Structure 1
Amino acid sequence: MTELHGLVAREAAEANRAAPALRDDLVAEALRNAGMLVRERRSTILEANAGDREAATGKLDEGTLDRLRLDDARVDALAAQVEAMAEIEPLEREAGSWTLANGLRVSERRIPIGTVGANFEARPNVALDVAGQLLKSLNTAVLRTGGAALRTVTVLVDDVLRPALESAGLPPGAVGLVRSADHEGARILVSLPRQISLVILRGSGETTAALARLAAENGVRTLAHAEGGGVLYVHGSATPERALGLVDASLDRLGVCNRLNLLLVDRAASGLVAPIMEALREKGLEVRGTVDGALPLDRSLGFEWANDAERVGTVTVAVVEGLEDAVRVANEETSGLAAGIVAEDEDAAEAFLDGYRGTAAFWHAPTRFTDGFELTGAPETGINVDWAPGPRGPVTYRDLWLRQYRIVGDATQRR
């Protein structure tokens, strides 16, 4: 066992010991305290963040540096974020109950998982966001951030979250941290099945996918957000106004997983290709694909351009032969994050929604709404695109539980 393995295991063990102490009222108090401490310790947080940014300058692209950066307004947003989490209704613990013919009373309960790991990108706000949701669901946490944000996240854990927990009468070790910038820390996090049975993996690309594979080899479940990219299918019945409006609304931001990535145009809607191409050019975007005016596609059809910092301003546009072809492409050649249709034909829209197997299906709405807070009113830990039972799509604190049956009898029941 390496020294780092031992350090991570100790953080996990401390979090496991803290788990039984969590209660809804005390967690809410701790989150309110955390908001207050963020404001009180603003200068310490900003100083740590300045050190992170200085060390990262010249190594990270401008978009990543901006996500790393904190200023007064963003610190205020951090405080507001945990305070808002404190006021959200706690998870309802009983999902249902019934009485069997033999008199046994059965209830289906939602119980905490225990300690949950979280590996996320170098964004300081994610530390408070994920920790807040795990605590809200009465789970403890072991966090691991991208090395570029480690100074800032360490301050947020040691000077904000842990003191906030302690002042509410809770064990400060309920939030642990992988205290190393070495990527080996992430691999260890997904290799401790007896202490951490579930790890939330945020981020995109092969690194996250590799961690998910390693977790599976070690018997650790993951909620992984490794790929994204929204799809929009323009049906033959689509009006120009709605098609162009949805294209515009889907591209308000480029470096996010739920923006328009692949635009599928039905051959029957080929008259809309020229105005769509013009709209994309006016936004300064590069278009790749199989329509007139597009550059040749040098990646797979569903390649997520938001993952490529050098080519984030790219959209793929391709012609499909009909609705069945569009559904096939969305299901087989993309991540399964989200897909939408623009169509005046209601039967066609319903057929698309029924046929698509991804996490969110849209009709006359942009895939940008594939977001936990937008859809459910609660922040998300990430978007799970697994093709298996369990929480899919935006994962919030409401999804972070285990099912337990509770059975009460009178000692007379026999099988």
Structure 2
Amino acid sequence: MNQILEDNELLQKGQKAKIASQALAVATSDQKKAALLAISNELRQSISEIMNANVLDIEMAKKRGTTDALIDRLMLNEERVNTMADALIHLTALHDPIGDELANWSRPNGLHIHKVRVPIGVVGMVYEARPNVTVDATGLCLKTGNAVFLRGSGSAIHSNQALVTAIRRALQTTDLPVESVQLLEDVSHETAKRFFKLKDLIDVLIPRGSKRLIQTVISQSSIPVIETGAGNCHLFIDRTAEVEMAIQIALNAKTQRPSVCNAIETIIIDEEWFMNHGDRLIQSLVSAGVECRIDPAVASIYPELPVATKEDWQTEYLDTIVAIKIVSDVNEAIHHINEYGTKHSESIISETPVNVKRFFLYVDASTLYHNASTRFTDGEAFGFGAEIGISTQKLHARGPMGLEALTSIKYLVTGAGQVRE
């Protein structure tokens, strides 16, 4: 396909999404609910079709030598498709924020001002090998009256095509425009660059994936971007941490699903706690199949373990690998996190209130935990329903982004003939 045809297809899909967003903006909650239920039902009816498409993506991934962790992200089975369908049903039960009045007031000149929630318009999603994002993003965008323009990765193209085909087939039976959901099927980097420049047709871009993907979108886009940063998350085990709690949280935060962004990548340990209990922690991790990369400061104690380097402190493994950092106190832990973290999720295990307070005050991240796993950073665990992503920036949205993060505001001003002098 030559560039002129590619650009025409890109522009046409963007224009269709923009037009659809105008109808979506005035759709009723009942109309949106009916559409989500129809999509949920169609996904279940299309499980065989979706799984057959996913097999093609998995086979391609294996031929490329993709890691097991990334294949896990890519894989769809009957349970996962049903989970996506269930999430849409759950979404219908959540409050529709569109039209909510956030504030109202009157001015001395008699003007009455109302601040209300409205849709953003067209949301552009850029994501990697996680086809569930296709359904999550569609559901959240439709619920909030937004059209969605999806740009997944080549590694999931067959899965995304099958999912969007099912979604659009369902929309044909509803009052919402079929063109509300668009998929960019040309996944070349050249077309992606042009996608990032559709400022007149796409209102916001939300990238979900690796640090490299996110930085590429930020650097190349002329469209506003909500940064959903990589998850180089840390667990700090303080001197007074309860031993069993610390070990169980470390195991959960690393092994429950290592391929996701809210899994920990480094365990920071107070040196006194480490000398007393470090062996138990490391043996528990190793027994669970985790490769531990040990701080050079204590490497001589564990000659069988690889030594951590600065690169390890910076790495989001997304795998059963964890770096072990030894520190003298909470202040050194905070310094390490703020230097190498990605402002995602950080946890402290401690029975010392002053240290917990200091950790909460000085660690710069969207979500901080005390005596709990970082794995809870997501929309469902926070009670938001399905999430569009986890923002690590400070403007517009931060942390798990549910329905309200996909809205903007509008001021409605009522007068009685006032003019400004």
Name the CA distance, whole Å, in 1 between partners of 2:236 and 2:80. Answer: 36
Q: Residue 334 of structure 1: which of 338, 341, 344 is its match?
A: 341
Pick one of 103, 121, 129 that aligns with 1:114. Answer: 121
Gaps of 5+ in 2: none
Q: Which residue pairs with 1:240 in the alignment?
A: 243
Within 2, Cα distance between the matches of 1:250 and 1:122? 22
TM-score (norm 1): 0.91
Residue 171 of structure 1 is matched in structure 2 by: 177
Partners in 2 of 1:295 and 1:48 — Cα distance? 40
Taking only the aligned residue pairs, the percentage that are identical comes to 26
Structure-2 residue corresponding to 1:189: 195
| Residue number in structure 2 paired with 1:273 | 278
**Separation in 2 of the partners of 1:255 and 1:306?**
8
- Residue identity in the other structure for 1:5: D
CA distance in 2, matches of 1:286, 1:55: 27
Amino acid across the alignment from 2:355: A
Q: CA deviation at 1:64?
A: 3.0
The code of the aligned residue for 2:243 comes to P
Cα offset, 1:90, TM superposition: 0.9
Cα distance change, pair 276–57 in 1 and its aligned pair in 2 (3 A):
closer
Which of 335, 353, 367 is the matching residue for 2:360?
353
Stretch of structure 1 that moved more, 110-119 or 78-87: 78-87
The residue that corresponds to 2:227 in the other structure is 224
Per-residue deviation, 1:127: 0.8
- For residue 226 of structure 2, give the secondary structure of its aligned residue in structure 1: strand
1:397 pairs with one of 398, 403, 407: 403
Note if contact 2:231-2:316 (Cα within 8 Å) is conserved in structure 1. Answer: no
**Is contact 2:384-2:402 (8 Å) kept?**
no
Aligned mates of 1:97, 1:80 — CA distance in 2: 37
- Moved >6 Å (runs of 4+): none
Matches for 1:33-48 after TM superposition, within 5 Å: 33-48=38-53
RMSD of equivalent CA atoms: 2.1
Aligned ranges 1:56-75 → 2 under 5 Å? 56-59=61-64, 60-75=66-81
Q: What do the CA deviations read for 1:289-324 (whole angstroms, capped 9, x no partner)?
A: 3234253223435323434xxxx2211111223222
Match of residue 30, structure 2, among 22, 25, 28 = 25
Query: Structure 1's 247 and 7: CA in aligned 2 closer, same or farther, altered over 3 A?
Result: same
The 1:377/1:384 distance shift into structure 2, 3 A limit, reads closer
Matches within 5 A, 1:240-389: 240-251=243-254, 252-270=256-274, 271-290=276-295, 291=298, 292-293=301-302, 294-300=305-311, 302-307=313-318, 312-386=319-393, 388-389=394-395
Letter in 2 for 1:16: K
Q: Is the 8 A contact 2:265 2:315 kept in 1?
A: yes
Indicate how the Cα distance of structure 1 residues 333 and 54 shifts in structure 2: closer, same or farther if over 3 A, else same: closer
Partner of 1:12: 14
Q: Which amino acid aligns with 1:243?
A: A
**Aligned-partner Cα distance in 2 for 1:98–1:266:** 53
In the superposition, the TM-score normalised over structure 2's length comes to: 0.90
How far did 1:378 drift? 1.2
Whether contact under 8 Å (1:302, 1:335) holds in the other structure is no
Give 1:53 deviation, angstroms: 3.3
Structure 1 pair 61–250 and aligned structure 2 pair: CA distance change class (3 A)? closer
State the one-letter code of the partner of 2:238.
H
For residues 254 and 392 of structure 1, the distance between their equivalents in structure 2, rounded to whole angstroms, comes to: 23
Distance in 2 separating the partners of 1:224 and 1:142: 17
Counterpart code for 2:52: E
- The gaps in structure 1 that reach 5 residues or longer are none
Residues matched between the structures, number: 406
Residue pairs, 1:74-223, within 5 angstroms: 74-92=80-98, 93-158=100-165, 160-215=166-221, 218=222, 220-223=223-226
